[in-house]
Each structure stands twice: as structure tokens, then as C-alpha cells.
Amino acid sequence: MKFFLDTANIEEIKRAAELGVVDGVTTNPTLIAKEKRPQKEVIKEIAKVVKGPISVEGNGCTCEEILKEAEEFSKWAPNVVIKVPMTKEGIKAVRILEKKGIRTNVTLIFSANQALIAGKAGASFVSPFIGRLDDNGQVGMDLIRDILQVYKNYGINSEVIVASIRHPIHVLEAAKAGAGIATIPAKVLESMWGHPLTDAGIKRFCEDFAKTAKL
Ligand code: E4P
């Protein structure tokens, strides 16, 4: 399973990259706004650290606007992926961009039919938002299972990025479902490392090691 980091914060990205657990990054306008710096500057900095896909999103609504933004964003780094909204205009743009060799990530997916349409259009990635579905009283993970099943049935190659992850159980469930990628907030990634029994075990082994070292 690939781990993407769902953040635009360079310090969080550097810390995770040092540990070798960042296969890519996803950003969105909300995450960029938190950094209080121009998007171009932030993305270029991320691209110095991460060689995997970096998703970048604009606010274009028409196909023409999305294509124009994509042209600009893809100049920033060779691994930039264009986030495209799951709309008719967005899907038109996906077909054109993918034909040109510019990778797309169809975002704000909330149903398997939307994922089917994005997959048929040839999107490199699709991003179903499971946390927002959970927040809305639906089981987000059911959507992941449905999409994986549908893609398997028809040999659709779009990579599924499990997005809007809120806690480590989401990552575990996504892995059990066989999703290829989870995009994980830094805080959630951090909480996946530890276990109190690991800490207690290390403490005990260290103490016992010290005892035998004196013999
Ligand atoms: C994914 O690409 C999005 O950036 C992100 O996962 C959205 O998550 P949120 O629902 O926590 O905003």
C-alpha cells in the first residue's frame, strides 16, 4: 500500500519523508490556504522533497479553465498531478489531459458511479472521500470496497486514493479492502507508529540488557 501525505506543510512532509513513508502528497485549496504562502512556492518546495505524485488543485470550473490551470501547474514540477473536480467539465478535461500525458486525480468522489465515470475517462487517480461520508452518516469504507470491485470487474486501471482519512482505523480498513493508496494526514500517520506494549517492551529489554552488560 502506498502512503501519500495529505498536507501542504513542508515540515510535516520532511519529517515523514526522512522515515521513508511518503510515496506522494495530496494538497487542496484548504490545505494550501493554511500555509499562508503562494501555492506555487509551496508546491515547488514539496517537489524538492517528494519524487512521487503531488496533487495540485485550482478553482477552474469549465474544461477550458481547468486545462489552463493544468498547463501552469504542470510546469512547476514533473511529478505534479492535476486534481480535477468530479463534474462533466472536469471529466472532459481529464480525457484531454491524460491524452497529453498529464496525470489527473479526480477529486470529491462520493459514489461508485462517479468513480466508474472517472475511470472510463482514463483518470490516473480517483479520490473517494471516506471521512466526509462518515460525517454524513454513510459508511465511507463501503464506497472503497464498491469502487475496487467495479474497477476489478472491468479492468479499470485508475489508482484509488482513499482520501479524507480521519484516524488509523480508516487506514487499516482501506488496507484490508486492498486499496492501493491512502492519503493520510500527518497526525494520523504519527498515531500509526506507536503502541504502549512496544514502549514497555523496549524499556524492559533495555533494563535487562544493562544487567547482563555488567556481568
Ligand atoms: C484529498 O485529496 C483531500 O485533500 C482530503 O483527503 C480531504 O480531507 P478532509 O475531508 O479531511 O478535508
Distance CA 49, CA 205 (A): 36
Tally Cβ neighbours within 10 Å of residue 141.
20
Q: What is the pLDDT of residue 16?
A: 97
Q: Indicate whether 214 pLDDT > 90.
A: no
Ligand 1 touching residue 164 (CB < 6 A):
yes
Catalytic one of 34, 83, 92, 203: 83
Distances (CA, A) of 134 to 87, 141, 149: 22, 9, 20
Look at residue 215 in the predicted model and tell me its pLDDT: 85
Cα separation, 77 vs 45, in Å, equals 10
Q: What is the mean pLDDT of the chain?
A: 97
User: For residue 41, what is the domain's CATH number?
Assistant: 3.20.20.70
Q: Is 88 a catalytic residue?
A: no
Q: Are strands 2-6 and 24-26 parallel, antiparallel or unpaired?
A: parallel
The count of domains in the chain is 1
Residue-number span of the structural domain to which 62 is assigned = 2-213
CA–CA gap between residue 114 and residue 137 (Å, rounded): 19
> What are the tens digits of pLDDT across the range 108-132?
999 999 999 999 999 999 999 999 9
pLDDT for res 68? 98
| pLDDT one-digit tens code per residue, 15-57 | 999 999 999 999 999 999 999 999 999 999 999 999 999 999 9
Prediction pTM value: 0.96
